[in-house]
Amino acid sequence: MDNNADKINKVRFGAHPHADMHCDSLLHGYRSGTDSIYTGMWNADGSPRSMQSISQMAEGGQLLQFFAVFFPEQDYIDGWTTPEEGHQKLHLPSDDIFFDTCVKWLHREVEQHSDVAALARNAAEVRTNYENGKISAVLTIEDGRFVNGDITRFAALKKIGVSAIALTWNHPNCLGWPNSDDPEIMNRSLTAFGQEAVAEMNRCRILIDVSHLNDGGFMDVARLSKAPFIASHSNCRAITSHRRNLTDEMIRIIADKGGVCGLNFCEDFVNPDSVMKDERAYTERYVQWKGKITEDVLKEAKEAFRRHDILPALPEDLAAHVLHMLNVGGEDVIAIGSDADGFDCISEINEPNKMSILFDVLQKKGLTSRQLDKFASGNVLRVMEEL
Ligand SMILES: [Zn+2]
């Protein structure tokens, strides 16, 4: 793959080069310690598998990717090993060392592909890179715990190129509370520091990302933020009733504020409730996935339904979320936040070069060329304009 990228020396962008507001590939870059992304997953031919790398972006003609430094807990990576001989257990260092290592890894990766890739912090830099035939890598953070209650760190992070920060991941932190099944936690406000942080992030021109945040925190951001904000990788709760997804009211608020919602490709957030909750619909999808209807497959489907095993998300399922966002929030709110390398993808669209499958479906469903352009990158560039 690297050899191919070396030969390209200019990216061939297609009709709708896309902007993607979230991936977790840096975690796997950290894990690999070397040039290629090691996810511990493998293709059928024995080659290592990742969903998102600089090479894959260049080959897929992708416009830009937000690379998030995501701060996991040790239990998130329990069982993970490094690619070195002997496959040693992976340990997490302090957040500071982890962050520095991830940033250095991204910089080195971009440097090594400098003929086709460059860093970017705002829309103007993305455009310059595009004109030079290069994809853009944008540094972001997932989990504001990294600032550790120190308001001065936002300005410092902006200085080193951080363009967006998700206030929380799935744990409480100095800024606020995460999405939760407990309605009391779900409706809590941002902390006093979190409220102060909204103003400071506005001042520093860092995009506020509400994906993973609880509903109460969302409403505080909506009330306090003077700048457009983003839900970098969240879908529609009206289609998939997951607490990580957005209600119609939230989609409308983000739209009114001039922000964007990024379509997440992780099956948990995409599969319609009807598929996951109704055994007949589940079995139909399972049979379609396996490509045959035999006694064995039907038995497997029954067991999988009982275990609530996840099923692939069809391009049509992804399109349904985009169309719902469009109907509820209008054409200026729709965007992409694939969550690549943040989940073990079993669906067809699992790489930058497969994005055209989704665009084709959206076109068939009636999206105009202008709407498709906005979805692919126009809306993300708009919010990056002020950075
Ligand atoms: Zn996430």
The tokens of 41 are what? Answer: 């997953």
Q: Residue 320 Cα, ligand 1 centroid: separation in angstroms?
A: 21
Contact 371, 326 (CB under 8 A): yes
Percent above pLDDT 70 for the chain: 94
Q: What pLDDT sits at residue 344?
A: 86
Residue with tokens 């003929």: 115
Residues 285 and 225 in one domain: no
Residues 186 and 216 in one domain: yes
- 152-179: per-residue pLDDT in tens? 999 999 999 999 999 999 999 999 999 9
Mean pLDDT of 266-295: 95
Residues 257 and 230 in one domain: yes
Q: Residue 303 Cα, ligand 1 centroid: separation in angstroms?
A: 29
Q: Residue 74 Cα, ligand 1 centroid: separation in angstroms?
A: 16
- 199-256: per-residue pLDDT in tens? 999 999 999 999 999 999 999 999 999 999 999 999 999 999 999 999 999 999 999 9
- 257-267: per-residue pLDDT in tens? 999 999 999 99
Q: What pLDDT sits at residue 5?
A: 46
Q: Which residues contact 50 (CB under 8 A, 6 or more apart)?
A: 25, 28, 36, 37, 38, 39, 41, 56, 341
Q: Residue 342 Cα, ligand 1 centroid: separation in angstroms?
A: 7
Q: What pLDDT sits at residue 8?
A: 54
Please list the alpha-helical segments (H only) found in 49-94: 54-60
Q: Residue 54 Cα, ligand 1 centroid: separation in angstroms?
A: 20
Residues 281 and 356 in one domain: no
pLDDT band at 95 (very low <50, low <70, confident <90, very high): very high
Q: Residue 143 Cα, ligand 1 centroid: separation in angstroms?
A: 9
Residues 231 and 300 in one domain: no
Q: Residue 2 Cα, ligand 1 centroid: separation in angstroms?
A: 27
Predicted structure pTM score:
0.94
- 28-52: per-residue pLDDT in tens? 888 887 656 667 666 667 666 788 8
Residues 249 and 287 in one domain: no
Mean pLDDT of 342-365: 94
DSSP one-letter code for 34: S
C-alpha 121/C-alpha 66 separation (Å) is 10
Residues 252 and 129 in one domain: yes
Q: Residue 293 Cα, ligand 1 centroid: separation in angstroms?
A: 35
Q: Residue 230 Cα, ligand 1 centroid: separation in angstroms?
A: 13
Q: Residue 86 Cα, ligand 1 centroid: separation in angstroms?
A: 30
C-alpha 101/C-alpha 333 separation (Å) is 34
The tokens of 164 are what? Answer: 């967006």
Residues 151 and 294 in one domain: no
Q: Residue 33 Cα, ligand 1 centroid: separation in angstroms?
A: 22
Residues 24 and 152 in one domain: yes
Residues 294 and 338 in one domain: no
Q: Residue 295 Cα, ligand 1 centroid: separation in angstroms?
A: 38
Torsion on CA atoms 139, 49, 372, 136, rounded to nearest 10: 30
Domain end position, chosen among 286, 309, 332? 309
Q: Residue 139 Cα, ligand 1 centroid: separation in angstroms?
A: 15
Mean pLDDT of 80-100: 85
Q: Measured at the alpha carbon of residue 69, what is the angle toward residues 65 and 75, in degrees to the nearest 5?
A: 130
Residues 266 and 277 in one domain: no
Q: Residue 338 Cα, ligand 1 centroid: separation in angstroms?
A: 10
Q: Residue 266 Cα, ligand 1 centroid: separation in angstroms?
A: 10
pLDDT band at 278 (very low <50, low <70, confident <90, very high): very high
What residues make up the domain containing 282? 272-309
Q: Residue 323 Cα, ligand 1 centroid: separation in angstroms?
A: 22
Asked whether residue 4 carries a pLDDT value surpassing 60, the answer given is: no
C-alpha 19/C-alpha 62 separation (Å) is 7
Q: Residue 339 Cα, ligand 1 centroid: separation in angstroms?
A: 7
C-alpha 261/C-alpha 230 separation (Å) is 6
- 107-140: per-residue pLDDT in tens? 999 999 999 999 999 999 999 999 999 999 999 9
CATH assignment at residue 141:
3.20.20.140
Q: Residue 280 Cα, ligand 1 centroid: separation in angstroms?
A: 31
Domain end position, chosen among 263, 283, 309? 309
Radius of gyration of the chain from Cα atoms?
Answer: 20
Asked whether residue 85 carries a pLDDT value surpassing 80, the answer given is: no
pLDDT band at 74 (very low <50, low <70, confident <90, very high): confident
pLDDT band at 53 (very low <50, low <70, confident <90, very high): confident
- What's the domain count of the chain? 2
Per the document, the length of the chain is: 387
Q: Residue 128 Cα, ligand 1 centroid: separation in angstroms?
A: 29
Q: Residue 241 Cα, ligand 1 centroid: separation in angstroms?
A: 17
Q: Residue 375 Cα, ligand 1 centroid: separation in angstroms?
A: 20
Q: What pLDDT sits at residue 50?
A: 80
> Mean pLDDT in the chain?
93
Q: Residue 31 Cα, ligand 1 centroid: separation in angstroms?
A: 18
Q: Residue 282 Cα, ligand 1 centroid: separation in angstroms?
A: 26
Q: Residue 215 Cα, ligand 1 centroid: separation in angstroms?
A: 16
Asked whether residue 349 carries a pLDDT value surpassing 60, the answer given is: yes
Domain end position, chosen among 263, 287, 309? 309
Q: Residue 221 Cα, ligand 1 centroid: separation in angstroms?
A: 18
Residue 109, Cβ density class (10 Å: 0-12 exposed, 13-18 middle, ≥19 buried)? buried
Percent above pLDDT 90 for the chain: 82
The tokens of 250 are what? Answer: 């939230």
The tokens of 76 are what? Answer: 């998130």
Residues 203 and 352 in one domain: yes
Mean pLDDT of 91-110: 93
